[in-house]
Amino acid sequence: MRLKVLLVSFLVLLVSACATPRGTGDLGVIIERAAGSVQIVETTTRTRLAQIAGLGDLSHASLVYSRDARYAYVFGRDGGLTKVDLLRGRIDKRIVQAGNAIGGAISQDGRLIAVSNYEPGGVKIFTADTLELLADIPAGSGDSQRRSKVVGLVDAPGECFVFSLYDAGEIWIADMHDPRQPQLRKFTHIGKLPYDGTVTPDGRFYIAGLFGEDGLALLDLWQPDKGVRRVLEGYGRGQEPLPVFKMPHMDYWAQAGGNAYVPAVGRSEVLVIDQKDWKEAGRVAVAGQPVFVVARPDGRQVWVNFAPPHNDTIQVIDTLSLAVIRTLKPGKAVLHMEFTPRGEQVWMSVRDENRVDVYDTGTFERVASLPADKPSGIFFTPRAHRISQ
């Protein structure tokens, strides 16, 4: 009898541990910043699959995915690096690797995780598998013992990480072919106080925004010998700095039909940039100071959210006519948007309403709404396959 009870208990355990197999191509993670938790969702029938707590301070949190789209690496503000298992719905591994951090990247081959730190400044490199520390790049300038805050960390083809040194005004390329001995190439005097950086979706052009002067610093990673040059002098701080309610994010630049669409700093405008020569090709007047400017995956539409006091609004720009074709009012504090990979729907965090809303991008109708605890970033697994997620 005791044997039977034991066996039956074992069976029950086994069945519960043995989840139905499922693909990971339609999964996503939503950051719940106040609670320090994340939700795992799926975009096919738009449901929540799991909620996972214990990720620390998730303000300004971001994440990248493993190349098999099973794990998310969540970068917290408090230096926490948490590897989340989407299929088992739990934390696989968590470390606190610095006192203050600002995002990270995964290497082209998926084997390395890099984290960009403020305190102490620098970049740390970990194995994606076990989060073992492989290298620490202190990122001080010249002979200085002072570690610089590191911003705008991205991965690039050729097993590289690229990042900017806020205090030092430099851009560094780290070649990670030997992960314990990164080979560094340093570009100095790129401009004052680079506050963020990004790379074009093809991984070719690295761009740093400058807080201390006008314009952007541009580095062609295909031709690094040409050095860093200044582009878009009308962008950024400007000659007469305007009040900026919230710095626009540089981590995603919308691209469509050879143009990039970027938020103007301190102005109620979206700038259109011709990527052939990095010159301004136009401006679109919008409802407020843009924060995220995101292209629908086919490039036909660009969706924009705004800094306070216009953060209840979304506007949609048609890229053929450069006209604002729709203004939506999803609710209080629309913080982030993420398109399904083929663009038929867009998810958005409406933080102060504790909701994530899903819109049809053809009809502009809301098709679903999911409860969430002060949601901020939304990240879908197809990012796993992009250069610089």
CA-to-CA distance for 228 and 256, rounded, in angstroms?
A: 25
From 33-41, 154-162, 240-248, 371-379, span contacting a copy of itself (CB under 8 A): 154-162
Residue from 9, 12, 13, 44 in contact with a copy of itself (CB under 8 A): 44
Residue 202 near residue 387, CB atoms below 8 Å: yes
Cα distance between residue 128 and residue 73, in whole Å: 9
* Among residues 56, 234, 238, 343, the one that binds a copy of itself under rule CB under 8 A: 343
To the nearest whole angstrom, how small is the minimum distance from the Cβ of residue 316 to a copy of itself?
14
Among 13, 23, 181, 352, binds a copy of itself (CB under 8 A): 23
In order of 301, 307, 333, 344, the CA distances from 340 in angstroms are 14, 24, 21, 6
- Residue (203 or 290) nearer to a copy of itself, CB: 203
User: Is 110 near a copy of itself (CB under 8 A)?
Assistant: yes
One residue of 7, 133, 184, 323 binding a copy of itself per CB under 8 A:
7
Among 9, 119, 178, 222, binds a copy of itself (CB under 8 A): 222
CA dist 92 and 75 (Å) reads 14
Query: Does residue 41 contact residue 30 with C-beta atoms inside 8 Å?
Result: yes
Binding mask 256-285 toward a copy of itself (x if CB under 8 A, else -) reads xxx----------------xx---------
Choose which of 52, 55, 69, 328 interacts with a copy of itself (CB under 8 A).
69
Shortest distance in whole angstroms from residue 320 CB to a copy of itself:
6
Residue type, 144: S
Count of residues interacting with a copy of itself (CB under 8 A)? 62
DSSP string, 35-66: TTEEEEEETTTTEEEEEE------TT-EEEE-
Position 158 contacts a copy of itself (CB under 8 A): yes
Q: Of the candidates 372, 307, 338, 336, which has an alpha carbon nearest to the alpha carbon of residue 34?
A: 372
Distance CA 310, CA 370 (A): 23
Residues near 324 by beta carbon (within 8 Å), at least 6 away in sequence: 284, 285, 286, 315, 316, 317
Residue 342 within binding range of a copy of itself, rule CB under 8 A? yes
Binding mask 116-145 for a copy of itself (x = CB under 8 A): ------------------------------
The binder of a copy of itself chosen from 9, 11, 323, 352 (CB under 8 A):
11
Q: 382: how many CB neighbours lie within 10 A of its CB?
A: 21
- Pair of tokens at residue 184: 């560094």
- Residue matched to tokens 């970068």: 75
Answer for which of 13, 47, 53, 68 binds a copy of itself (CB under 8 A) is 68
Residue 3 phi/psi, 5-degree rounding, is -60, -45
Pick from 297, 326, 354, 370: which binds a copy of itself (CB under 8 A)?
297
**Minimum separation from the CB atom of position 21 to a copy of itself (A):** 4
Residues that bind a copy of itself (CB under 8 A): 3-4, 7, 10-11, 14-15, 17-19, 21-27, 42-44, 65-71, 86-88, 108-110, 157-159, 202-204, 222-223, 256-258, 275-276, 297-300, 320, 341-344, 362, 381-382, 384-387
